[in-house]
Chain A
């Protein structure tokens, strides 16, 4: 089953074409890696899909319906969640309150019986290392990324975008993240993850999408794309 499909998606910022004519498909159960050099347009691509920065042209189909230019809040309700490259959740809120927002507003009302309980579960699920009462502005980047992930999961998504979740992690933390991503995937959530760390990509992704200068240069099984000369060339410059 196709979960997400973009057709000729393009995003222009004035004269700059950040995403150029990208078509791709993501299937149910995929853990797809979105790779490409810095400034390739990866974040812009997921922003265009998730509604934060709507596309200039092209279309998006999610779960079989046309969702082009829907607002982020609408996309969230439809089952799409995302984390942010620069995790900056709500600085003055405690960890539990941060997750509560997505629990309460990201789910149809009444669907979650006990929001506090549900939010706690999410924090446990991402193995959040701090107390739930800690205020977000006191967390470091790594902890914030975990919190942001818990927030994203709290709305019970069917599709999850993660933007450089693993950047800046130590070797041990990388293993934790790997395990958590596998857990998410096991829950039946399809994943599109922007990532630079090859070790992680090779370990968890079944498919890859590579873009360079906003244009798709490869899409397919992880091994194939990773060995594609165009892709290695894009990375080596």
Chain B
């Protein structure tokens, strides 16, 4: 909807940027992410680990926002679905000797299937009820992972082979950034197509959407499937990065972490959460490591920030950006922030 200028008028660079759903400033941000491991103090291994976690939450928030920000359903089982993908992937590697790369993809597919099921059974439900259902679903999956000790070793944790046979965190970090970008691109291309219009319509007014000829079943189930498949792939990455998987990854508090980042970043923007995750989660990791005698403090901070944002700035960072930063007078700056549009 937003490309009003026909693509013939654009030079190849702008065309490419547009295809990649990036603005010049977005591209710069991406380059910066790739350069970060070479810039002190971020070149230290423990900082890289934090950054990988930032990237993980960033990518999760993009997938989460596809559902929360577009069809207006909060999937409280998101972390559980992600963990389900992670366990699937880990178990395939451990028990069947599959390569972790293939297993990650398989984790994505099974998690997508899980999303399909959640999407189907929550179809008749609106907003908060669908959210509750996805939450219960998530709790059930987590319960299974905890209780099926013979398969998952329960709370003892599952040792999982890593994606790269190295002590360095750098390859994991680069992979994470690539994954983040690909996930962003996939979601953005979907919402740019006419499907995005259908998502927004059923998310904003179900009755008017249906009266306009939109079949909500198809779009809702599709949305859940894609969003959960993304969570599953990321769950696989998580499993094969940390090398240990416990049912904790499925906990609702993980979903809340993702939700907080997505909302603070700005619902329905896709990029807001991805951008905010890096400073925000990074600071949270610092807080967690320096105040390790106060476990749970990070959750308190999440809640506080979330409440403040919800009350004073419900549009989140992306809304702030769109209203106050995106439209400067200066032409060059304007191009830098918007691209050729």
Chain A interface (Cβ < 8 Å from any Cβ of B): 50-52, 71-73, 76-77, 81-82, 84, 88-93, 97, 100-102, 104-107, 148, 151-152, 154-155
A76 B1 Cβ-Cβ under 8 A: no
| Other-chain contact of A105, B1, B205, B214, B268 (Cβ < 8 Å) | B214
Question: For the complex, what is the distance from the CA of A155 to the CA of B210, rounded to whole Å?
Answer: 12
- Shortest distance from the beta carbon of B16 to any chain A beta carbon, whole Å: 24
Given contacts A77-B213, A101-B197, A101-B214, contact A88 B208 (CB under 8 A): yes
**Contact: B212 with A106, CB < 8 Å?**
yes
Chain B residue with the shortest CB-CB distance to A89: B208
Q: Encode B191-230 as 1/0 by CB contact (under 8 A) with A.
A: 0001001101100110111111111100000000000000
Nearest-Cβ distance from residue A72 to partner chain B, whole angstroms: 4
**B214 partner residues in chain A, CB cutoff 8 A:** 73, 101, 105
Q: Is there an interface contact between B211 and A90, defined as CB atoms closer than 8 Å?
A: no
Establish whether residues A155 and B207, one from each chain, have CB atoms under 8 Å apart when the complex forms: no
Interface of B is mostly: helix
A92 — nearest CB in chain B belongs to which residue? B204
Interface size on B, residues (CB 8 A): 19
Instruction: Given A90-B200, A97-B197, verify A102-B205 contact (CB < 8 Å).
Output: no
* Chain B residues, Cβ within 8 Å of A97: 1, 197, 200
In the complex, A101 Cα to B216 Cα: how many Å? Answer: 13
Residue of B194, B201, B205 touching A88 (CB-CB under 8 A) = B205
Contact between A92 and B200, CB atoms less than 8 A apart: yes
Contact B207 A93, beta carbon cutoff 8 Å: no
Query: Which of chain A's residues have a CB closer than 8 A to the CB of B1?
Result: 97, 100
| Known A-B contacts A88-B205, A89-B205, A92-B268; A73 and B200 likewise in contact (beta carbons under 8 Å) | no
Nearest-CB residue, chain A, relative to B215:
A73
Contact B213 A52 (CB under 8 A): no
Chain B residue nearest to A75 (CB atoms) is B211
Does A76 lie within 8 Å of B200, measured CB to CB? no
Q: Cα distance A50–B209 when bound, in Å?
A: 13
Cross-chain contact B204 with A151 (CB below 8 angstroms): no
A152 to B207, CA, bound (A): 12
- In the assembled complex, the CB of A109 is this many whole angstroms from the nearest CB of chain B, namely 9
Most A Cβ at <10 Å: residue of B1, B198, B268: B1
Residues A50 and B200 in contact, CB atoms below 8 Å apart: no
Closest to B197 in A: A101
In the complex, the chain B residue whose C-beta lies closest to that of A161 is B211
Least CB distance from A145 to B in Å reads 13
Q: List 26 A-B contacts (CB under 8 A).
A: A51-B210, A52-B210, A52-B211, A72-B211, A73-B210, A73-B211, A73-B215, A84-B211, A90-B200, A90-B209, A91-B204, A92-B204, A93-B200, A97-B1, A100-B197, A101-B198, A101-B201, A101-B209, A101-B214, A102-B213, A105-B213, A148-B208, A151-B208, A151-B212, A152-B211, A155-B212
B residues within 8 A CB of A72?
Answer: 207, 210-211
**Given pairs A105-B198, A106-B213, A155-B213, 15 additional interface contacts (CB within 8 A):** A50-B211, A72-B207, A73-B214, A73-B215, A81-B211, A84-B211, A89-B205, A90-B200, A91-B204, A97-B197, A97-B200, A101-B198, A148-B208, A151-B212, A155-B212
Residues in A neighbouring B268, C-beta threshold 8 A: 92
Task: Tell me the residues in window 169-211 of chain B with beta carbons closer than 8 Å to chain A beta carbons.
Answer: 194, 197-198, 200-201, 204-205, 207-211
How many Å from the CB of B87 to the closest CB on chain A? Answer: 37
Known: A91-B204, A92-B200. A101 touches B212 (CB 8 A): yes
A190 vs chain B, min Cβ distance (A): 17
- Name the contact of A93 in the complex, choosing from B204, B210, B211, B215 (C-beta under 8 A): B204
Q: Which of A77, A92, A152, A155 has the most CB of B within 10 A?
A: A92
- When A100-B1, A104-B197, A105-B198 are in contact, do A90 and B205 touch as well, CB less than 8 Å? yes
With a CB–CB cut-off of 8 A, which chain B residues contact A90? 200-201, 204-205, 208-209
Residue of B nearest to A154 (CB): B212
CA distance A77 to B213 in the complex (A): 6
Q: How far is the CB of A42 from chain B (nearest CB, A)?
A: 17
Q: Which 4 A-B pairs have the closest CB atoms?
A: A106-B213, A102-B212, A72-B210, A76-B213
Residues of B with C-beta under 8 A to A148:
208
CB-CB under 8 A from A155, the residues of chain B are 212-213
B212 with A76: CB separation less than 8 A: yes
* Alpha-carbon gap, A50 to B1, bound state (A): 29
Measured CB to CB, the closest approach of chain A to B6, in angstroms, equals 12
Minimum Cβ distance to chain B for residue A77 (Å): 6
Neighbouring A residues of B204 by C-beta, 8 Å:
90-93
Given known pairs A90-B201, A92-B268, A93-B200, the reply for A105 and B212 (CB within 8 Å) is yes
Q: How far is the CA of A92 from the CA of B71 in the complex (A)?
A: 12
Residues of chain A lying within 8 A (CB to CB) of residue B194: 104-105
Measured CB to CB, the nearest residue on chain B to A102 is: B212
Nearest CB to that of B1 among chain A residues? A97
Most buried by A among B209, B210, B216, B268: B210
A84, B213: Cβ atoms under 8 Å?
no
| Shortest Cβ distance from A72 into B: residue | B210
CA distance A152 to B214 in the complex (A): 13
A102 contacts which chain B residues (CB < 8 A)?
A: 212-213
